[in-house]
Amino acid sequence: MAEALSPGLIGLAALVALIALRMPIAHAMILVGGLGIAALNGPALMLNQLKTLAWGQFSIYDLSVVPMFVLMGAFAARAGLSAALFRAGNAWLGWMRGGTAMAAIAACAGFGAVCGSSLATASTMGKVALPELKRYNYSGALATGTLAAGGVLGILIPPSVVLILYAILVEANVVTMFMAAMLPGALAVVLFLLTIAAYVAIRPGAAPAARARDGAELRAATLGVMPVLAIFAIVLGGIYAGLYNPTPGAAVGVALVWLYGTVRGALPLRALREALLETASITGMIYLILLGAELMKIFLSRAGLPQAAAEWIVAAGMEPMTVMVLLLLALIVLGCLMDSLSMILLVIPFFWPVLVEINGGLYQGAEGAGFGMSTEELKIWFGILALVVVELGLITPPVGMNVFVISAMARDTPMIDTFKGVAPFFGAELVRVGLLLAFPALTLWLPRVLGG
């Protein structure tokens, strides 16, 4: 078996080496996948795949939602939505000790629901909330740690570009994945708010004393945030209600955010041009990584690596839940080395077939076999778990992209303090992973109810 698997193992080793040498991950996957297919089945098949694969991948209708949501996020970052969300959160929560930090978390969640990008959420909210947190004399660790952790909410709370790409990779329904992400996303917000409350209770000096409520501020901030809440309700509410599928829903969102920004005078011609160029750049990068991921998927499948891994796991007598935990631990480790999008597109084509085999293939017929759920529910549950642990890579060293983004804005706070400030939120995320593992219904209940 080792001889049969050697091409796949050599290919994986080569891919890791190329990534370590700083080759762009899309180029590395295309190179290794293409050469691997050629080595296994001849150059003619590899050239035929290159001829047809790009069109087959990029002509998928569901994929057209990606540039729309990217553009929606680009408009949102320039239209002033983040400021309205933060003002409302500060008016509602600022009366508590640590309330301004809590407001930043709530605003990150709201902005993530419109933007769908963790890095964009962290950078945009950092510009808005960091000056306020400094003005109220929050400690550097708590202020920067809160914003870095709050940014991770953008990757899971719908609409999420990474969640859409996961759905396309495993052939899941995008709307169902959005439904499944709602409760885990809300759970993250609650746990982060509780983390801040515990932090300031243990270290009162990290945040100022609570300030008095201001009724006029509360009314003005609530009125100001209503258009943002309306955009969220129209886009996701219309998708869930079946009025339109995600692509038209994203187009509606783009139009509404553009209208909001135009009315406020925040989207002049230069800003529109910047948003369009940013969307084209990000979309091109995503599509190229998708092409590389598909080539790697074909190569690994022809090398028999996922099937052999599943057979080895069964032969080793591992329980399905043990396998799930090991895969999630692998994702956490990989998240320390590469960005979330690349990781999802790289490892899901390898991990997912292993779980399918364990759940309904090699264990089929045994009492209590697999994970006790259908393949459709497994892809939902695993997808949410995978995205939650991928989030951890955004706040863990040595990559920790959100930490680097916030540290670049907070020059007076050492990066080590930011990592210390993020640590309690990392613990909260581990609690969330444990709850989602122990209670799959937290992920599956809403799709079961709304999906009929």
Q: What is the Cα gyration radius of the chain?
A: 22
Alpha-carbon gap, residue 95 to 213, rounded angstroms = 6
How many other CB atoms are found less than 10 A from the CB of residue 429?
Answer: 24
Phi-psi label, residue 22: left if phi above 0, alpha if psi -120 to 50, beta otherwise: left
Handedness of CA 336, 340, 346, 347 (dihedral sign): positive
pTM score: 0.85
In order along its 452 residues, the chain shows pLDDT tens digits of 445 457 778 888 888 888 778 888 888 888 988 888 888 888 887 787 777 778 877 777 878 888 888 888 888 888 888 888 888 888 888 788 888 899 999 988 888 877 777 777 888 888 888 888 888 889 989 999 999 999 888 888 888 888 888 888 888 888 899 899 999 999 999 999 999 999 999 998 888 877 667 777 788 888 888 888 898 889 888 888 888 888 898 899 999 999 999 998 888 999 999 999 988 988 888 888 888 888 888 888 788 777 777 677 767 777 888 889 988 888 888 777 677 777 788 788 778 888 887 876 544 444 445 788 888 899 999 999 999 998 888 888 766 778 888 888 888 888 888 889 999 999 999 999 999 999 999 999 998 887 65
Q: Is the backbone peptide bond immediately before 440 cis, with ω within 30 degrees of 0?
A: no
**Cα–Cα distance measured from residue 302 to residue 320, given in angstroms and rounded to the nearest whole number:** 25
Q: Provide the Cα torsion 70, 73, 78, 81; round to 10°.
A: 170
> Is-cis flag, bond preceding 208, omega within 30?
no
Any residues with CB less than 8 A from the CB of 26 and at least 6 apart, and which? 285, 288, 289, 291, 292, 342
212 Cβ partners below 8 Å, 6+ apart? 95
> How high is the pLDDT of residue 318?
78
